[in-house]
Every structure is written in C-alpha cells, then in structure tokens.
C-alpha cells in the first residue's frame, strides 16, 4: 500500500519547499528599490513551449531607440531610463516578433516576463525552427493538436484524459475519475496508443474501463495528439491515433545550467493535492534528470452527492542520465509508478462498496542516437524498454478478485535520412515486442505470450505547391496461450498467428503561405488482444462477465479524411471531414444476459463491420493583441454496416467556446463546454442528456531573480451543473464532478 508515513513526509516536504521558495521570491519582488526620477526596466524572455530561457533576443524600446539583448539566462536590462509609457519590440530569428506596452510612469522599477512563440520559416524548402525542421503537416499538428507551456498548465487535470478533455475530437472513457482514458473520434482501446517520449506505455488501460493509465501529467513538457502517416512509425492503427507525452526523461541535449521546476496542485471537488519536482543537472558531457511527484485525491463531489470509492493515491519517481557527445547520445532511465484507486459501486451487478485496485509499473529504458556528419543518413535511433506491470483488484472483504501481471520487452531501431532525390526526408526501421501475460484471482482467462515484429517506412516530399507524406507498416503477430484446451463457452483455445499491413498517404496543397487544403487515405489494421480472444469469467472491477472469441479475425479499416487549414497572423482555422469503414471491428457487446452466479452482465466479444464518420472544426481569432476568441466542435456517428444500427459507446456532439483577455503577464479566460444529448445508442446502453457548463481561468506569471513563477486558478462547472459523460460506466449512479476550484503553481529555475 502507498499510504505510508514515508510517502506523506515526501509529499509534505515537496509542497513545503515549493511554498517557501515562492514566499522568498515574493518577498524579493516587494523588496525592490523605488526611484523618483529615473527607473530601471529589466526582464527575462522565455520560450512559450518549453519554458526555457531564450538567448540572443533583441529588445528594442521604440521611443528612445534603445536596444538590449537577452543573455544565456534570457535576461535583459535597461538602466536609468525616463519615466513614461514605452512601446517595446522583442524579436528573434526563431520566434515570432512580439510588441508590448510598458508603463514606467509610476516612478518604480519594473521586472517582467516575456513569452515568445516559436515560428517556422520556409524559404524554398529550407526550414528553420527552434527545435527541428518541421513540415507543413507537423506545423498543422503543432497548431491544432499539441498542449504545451501555459496552455498545458491551464488544462492540467487529475489524469491524462481529464487534461485532454476539451481538445478537438477527444472524449473520455471512464469508470470513475482515476480509470479514465482518451477516446479519439469514437475509437478507444488500443486503437489509441499512449506513449511517453515516443515509447509505448505498457499497462492494461486499453483493455477495460476499470483500468487506469499509468502516466502522471503534471511533470510533462507537452502532450501531442498524432494522426496521419506519422502514426505508422509506432502503431498499425492509422484510423485511431497516438497520445504522446513528452518529458525528455533521458536528456538528449547539452545545457550549461541546472534547470528544473517545482510545483503543486490543489482542487476542491475531490480534496486533491499534488507536489512535484523535476531537476536536470549537467556534468561535462553528462546530463542527469530526476523527477518526483505524489498526488492524493479523495472521493469526488457531484451536484447531488459524493461518488463513494472514487479516491486515488499516486507516487511517481524517475531518474535518467544521458551522455551527450559530438556524434550522438547514449542514455538510460528508470521509472517507478504506483497507483491505488477505487472503482465505485452501487449499481446493478456491482459490489455495494466498490472495488479497490493497486497497480505498479517499473520501467527501464535505454536510448542510443548516432548522428552521421554527412551523406544520405541523418541519424540512427535505437530504443529499448523492459517493463514490469502488476495490477490487483480487491473486493470489500480484502480478497483478491483479479490479478494481472505483465512482463514486457520492447525494442525499436529507426534510421532517418536526409534528402534523397525527390524525397525531402524520411525514416525506416523495425520494432519488436515480447509480452508475457499472466492472470490470477477469479479470472479464468488463460495466461499467454505475445510476439510482435514490425517493419515501417515513412517519407515526406514536395512537388510545387503540393506536400506529401506516405507511410507503410508490416506486422507479424503470434499469440500463444498457455492452456490449449477446448472450453465449453469459448470453443477451442489455440495459438493464433497474424500477418497484417497498414499504409497512409496524405497530401496538402499550399494555396498561399497561410491557406492550405489536404486529404488523407489510410488502410489500418489491428489484431485482437489476448483478452478479446481468451477472456472467460467475471471481471469484478469492470462489473461484467466477459466472454472472448478465440476465432476473431484481425481488424481492417479504410479511412478517408478531407481538411482545410488556414493560419494567418491573428486567425487560425482548421476543419476536417472523415469516414472510416472497418471490417471485423472488434467490440465487447452487452448481450442483455446475466450470469446468475455473480449477477454480472454478460459481455460477449464479437466482430462486426462498422462505419464511423464525422467532422471536427477549430477556430482561433485575435482581433486585438489583448483579446482572443477560440472555439471547437467535434461529432462522430458510429453504425453497424449491415443494419445501420448504432454502435455502443459513441460520444455525442461536443463543443467549446472561450474568450480570453491578456495584459502583460496576466490573462483571464471564460468559456462554455457543452455536449448534445446522445440518443443514438446500442441495445442495453443508457442514453444521456445534453449539457452546457461554464468554466473560467486566471493565469499570472512573475519573475524573481532566476526564478519564473506561473500560477493558474481554474473555476470549473461554476454553476454546479448536474451532467453526465456518455462514455462513463458509472453515469447511472452519479453525474460528473460539481463546482471545482483548482489552483496550480509551477516555479521554473535556471541556476
């Protein structure tokens, strides 16, 4: 169990350190000297995405034609200038130019923080950016499907799914707050891959609604939602997508200073608390990174009562090291993730007091990068991971109802090339996974071993105003059950072998530098999981009696997407139409029957032909520097192909609208989040009503010495509206969280 005195001490100590540093910093600010005739104007310039200092930015006071340049710590300074209101322009070759107004007429010195947004410059197919060359496709993904910087801090929720809930095209599948997982365009399970720093996250969250994702979001630098051809570098399921969290656990770049952040998180709806710290320390050619966080949340409060047994308690630690030399990187990391949480009870077939779950993931990662000085190849990347995952489900009596253990080995080698003929850039590689899956408790699914071998190819090229991406992937999968027997409910349990392929092709026409049109066509594949093939018996925490199908074929889909992408200086617009025709779509369906030994609903895994189609839209408009309007809308329709009846667990139409006002380092926003009713349901599925809730956020940043402080205050569901998430398995008990006050603090330091 995680509820030990040592963990409490770590948590209290982390929060104490964060509060003390903040207090000293504020005291430092208010201790500044005041001038009566002339004032000093100083500040620090920060990368909006990475929160890293920006060196070499030009700061120009237009009225006096005075210049200053930011140093390696992002700092600049103007001494003894006249008291008045100034217009200041900040420019850097790799960032968008920013103009601000500074009022120095109040006879006091000013120290400010300025955030610069990275830009991509394209000149005759030569790309300059702050990180790496970006194609137009990557620029579109960056604009519409990436959470980073202050936007990420504003959106931070109690887990990954809650953090992404208002992103375009995403929904949340849940069974209480802790076991929540993102759904993309109505597709869930392992059609949506969750990865960390590009490596697949190993847990059981894709297999059942009661299983949680083993990712702590507070310490990540950015979250990417990837779709299109680039998905095939990591997964054969092109019609789903990848949610990749970036934390750079193994450092891959040299730096001159000790950097890091300390933060905390508090919210009222579940009495949630979190303390976190991250530090990166350079020592000659080595760079060491450490991370620690502890999160505790109690039962969640709703407008009509408390959702009992919805608590969670998480401990997360990691250590990584990278040796950075002229020709590449060699690095290692280790992560320990522990999570205890409750699955609510109280409805038909559920335990009255719910079920308690303990899980742990221990992961060792290795990374090797070799950079070629010249020639066709840019670099060679190799990654290896060993993962131990264990998951126990306890009944109210304390007995173990189910136990899962995974020992997983993953390896991947990727060779990236420079321009070859008409191919601008690309990658090719191979990957492998070996999984030993064991089950205990009252679950009768046979243990099994899985072997996957894959080869993949990705290319980007341009012709005139047309830009193209193409990717292909070939997979060989072997699933070998331990007990090859005949089961009276399943039939013959036997070894299964699959050979599948996937491809994806995207094109984008650049009408002008800011207006683009495009299309994508893809063939997707997915093999059934061990659980879908061989499940047999009660799954107590999921409150279902699950029956697999050992004869399931592989899933194959054809997807088509059309999109329009406009990106002006103060206006962004993106609209997508999509359709996915899927043969042998694998789903567990409620049969309407009951297993009277356990009083659980019987879910039978079946294979059907399905059609999922819909649209997404996203817009952001800034008529003034201080004011921004943004909105998005998402809709998916899911049908059985043979009879046009509705697929289960399809999210309703969802939309958000937000107004944001900004002044210097302060911003405030208010927005509506809503969904329509969902009456298009499968047999034995509960419909839900529509809702609209009001949320608001205030953010403030300030500097003290070498420290940058970011504070976010969120008010969620301000009017305490009762509403239900259609993809929640516990919506029949109680609605979603009621009014919630959430305070987030992060302090970034460079020493």
Output the CA–CA distances (angstroms, integers) from residue 199 to 195, 196, 411, 621, in the order listed.
Answer: 5, 5, 9, 35
> What is the per-residue pLDDT for 126?
30
Low-confidence ranges of the chain (pLDDT < 50): 5-6, 9, 12-13, 15-16, 18-36, 120-133
In the chain, what are the domain boundaries? 32-119, 126-555+592-601+697-750
Of 605, 459, 471, residue with least CA distance to 532: 605
> What is the per-residue pLDDT for 331?
97
Q: What angle do CA 392, 393, 395 make, to 5 degrees?
A: 140
> What is the per-residue pLDDT for 262?
95
**pLDDT tens digit sequence for 138-170:** 777 777 778 777 788 888 888 899 999 999 999
Burial (0-12, 13-18, 19+ Cβ within 10 Å), 14: buried
Output the CA–CA distances (angstroms, integers) from residue 247 to 260, 397, 751, in the order listed.
Answer: 12, 40, 20
Give the 3-state secondary structure percentages of the chain, helix then strand then coil, rounded to 5: 10, 60, 35
Domain 126-555+592-601+697-750, CATH = 2.40.170.20
At 179, list the tokens: 């076991």
Output the CA–CA distances (angstroms, integers) from residue 77 to 80, 429, 601, in the order listed.
Answer: 10, 49, 68
Contact between residue 504 and residue 470 where contact means Cβ atoms under 8 Å apart = yes
Q: What angle do CA 307, 312, 314 make, to 5 degrees?
A: 170
Contact between residue 580 and residue 599 where contact means Cβ atoms under 8 Å apart = no
306's CB contacts (< 8 A; 6+ apart) are 299, 300, 734
Q: Give the β-pairing of 146-148 and 491-492.
A: unpaired
Of 588, 493, 597, 488, residue with least CA distance to 540: 597
CATH topology of domain 32-119: Immunoglobulin-like (2.60.40)
pTM for the model stands at: 0.84
Residue that is written with structure tokens 């460079």 in the block: 750
Quote the CA–CA distance of 142 and 225 in Å, as a whole number. 9
Output the CA–CA distances (angstroms, integers) from residue 410 to 234, 382, 407, in the order listed.
Answer: 12, 11, 10
Quote the CA–CA distance of 209 and 143 in Å, as a whole number. 31
């Amino acid at each position: 169990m995680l509820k030990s005195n040592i963990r409490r001490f770590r948590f209290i100590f982390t929060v104490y350190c964060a509060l003390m540093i903040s207090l000293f910093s504020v005291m430092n600010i208010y201790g500044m000297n005041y001038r009566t005739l002339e004032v000093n104007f100083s500040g620090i310039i920060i990368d909006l995405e990475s929160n890293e200092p920006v060196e070499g930015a030009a700061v120009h006071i237009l009225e006096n034609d005075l210049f200053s340049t930011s140093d390696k710590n992002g700092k600049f300074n103007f001494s003894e200038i006249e008291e008045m209101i100034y217009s200041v322009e900040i420019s850097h070759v790799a960032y968008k130019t920013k103009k601000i107004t500074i009022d120095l007429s109040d006879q006091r010195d000013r120290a400010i923080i300025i955030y610069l947004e990275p830009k991509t410059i394209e000149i005759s197919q030569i790309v300059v950016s702050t990180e790496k060359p970006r194609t137009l496709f990557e620029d579109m993904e960056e604009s519409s499907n990436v959470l980073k910087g202050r936007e990420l801090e504003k959106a931070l929720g109690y887990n990954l799914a809650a953090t992404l809930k208002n992103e375009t095209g995403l929904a949340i599948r849940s069974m209480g707050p802790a076991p929540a997982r993102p759904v993309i365009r109505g597709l869930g399970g392992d059609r949506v891959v969750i990865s960390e720093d590009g490596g697949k996250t190993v847990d059981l969250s894709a297999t059942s609604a009661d299983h949680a994702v083993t990712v702590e979001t507070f310490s990540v630098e950015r979250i990417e939602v990837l779709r299109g051809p680039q998905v095939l570098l990591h997964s054969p399921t092109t019609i789903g997508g990848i949610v990749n969290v970036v934390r750079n656990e193994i450092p891959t770049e040299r730096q001159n200073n000790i950097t890091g952040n300390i933060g905390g998180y508090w919210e009222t709806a579940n009495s949630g608390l979190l303390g976190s710290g991250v530090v990166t320390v350079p020592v000659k050619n080595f760079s060491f990174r450490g991370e620690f966080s502890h999160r505790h949340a109690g039962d969640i409060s709703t407008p009509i009562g408390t959702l009992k047994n919805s608590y969670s308690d998480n401990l997360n630690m990691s250590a990584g090291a990278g040796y950075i030399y002229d020709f590449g990187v060699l690095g290692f990391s280790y992560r320990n993730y522990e999570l205890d949480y409750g699955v609510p009870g109280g409805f038909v077939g559920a335990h009255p007091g719910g079920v308690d779950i303990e899980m742990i993931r221990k992961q060792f990662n290795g990374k090797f990068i070799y950079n070629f000085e010249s020639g066709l190849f840019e670099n060679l990347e190799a990654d290896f991971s060993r993962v131990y995952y264990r998951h126990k489900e306890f009944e109210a009596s304390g007995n173990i109802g189910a136990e899962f253990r995974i020992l997983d080995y993953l390896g991947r080698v990727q060779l990236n090339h420079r321009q070859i003929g008409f191919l601008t850039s690309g990658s090719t590689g191979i990957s492998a996974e070996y999984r030993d899956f064991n089950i205990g408790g009252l679950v009768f699914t046979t243990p099994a071993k899985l072997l996957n071998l894959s080869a993949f190819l990705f290319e980007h090229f341009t012709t005139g105003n047309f830009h193209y991406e193409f990717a292909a992937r070939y997979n060989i999968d072997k699933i070998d059950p331990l007990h090859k027997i005949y089961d009276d409910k399943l039939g013959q349990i036997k070894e299964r072998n699959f050979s599948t392929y996937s491809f994806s092709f995207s094109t984008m026409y650049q009408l002008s530098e800011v207006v683009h049109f495009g299309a994508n066509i893809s063939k997707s594949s997915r093999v059934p999981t061990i659980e879908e093939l061989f499940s047999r018996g009660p799954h107590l925490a999921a409150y279902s009696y699950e029956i697999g199908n050992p004869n399931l074929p592989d899933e194959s889909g054809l997807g088509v997407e059309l999109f329009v992408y406009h990106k002006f200086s103060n206006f962004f617009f993106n609209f997508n139409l999509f359709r996915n025709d899927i043969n042998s779509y694998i789903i567990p369906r409620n049969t309407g029957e009951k297993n009277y030994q356990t009083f659980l609903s019987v879910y039978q895994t079946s294979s059907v032909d399905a059609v999922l189609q819909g649209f997404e839209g996203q817009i952001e408009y800034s008529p003034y520097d201080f004011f921004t309007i943004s909105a998005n809308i998402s809709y998916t329709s899911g049908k059985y192909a043979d009879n046009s009846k509705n697929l289960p667990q399809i999210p309703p139409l969802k939309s958000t609208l937000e107004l944001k006002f900004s002044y210097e380092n302060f911003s405030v926003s208010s927005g509506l989040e809503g969904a329509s009713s969902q009456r298009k349901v499968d047999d034995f599925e509960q419909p839900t009503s529509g809702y609209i809730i009001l949320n608001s956020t205030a953010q403030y940043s300030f500097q003290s010495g070498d420290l940058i402080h970011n504070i976010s205050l969120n008010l969620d569901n301000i009017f305490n509206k009762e509403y239900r998430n259609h993809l929640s398995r516990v919506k029949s008990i109680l609605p979603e969280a009621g009014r919630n006050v959430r305070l987030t603090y992060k302090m970034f330091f460079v020493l």
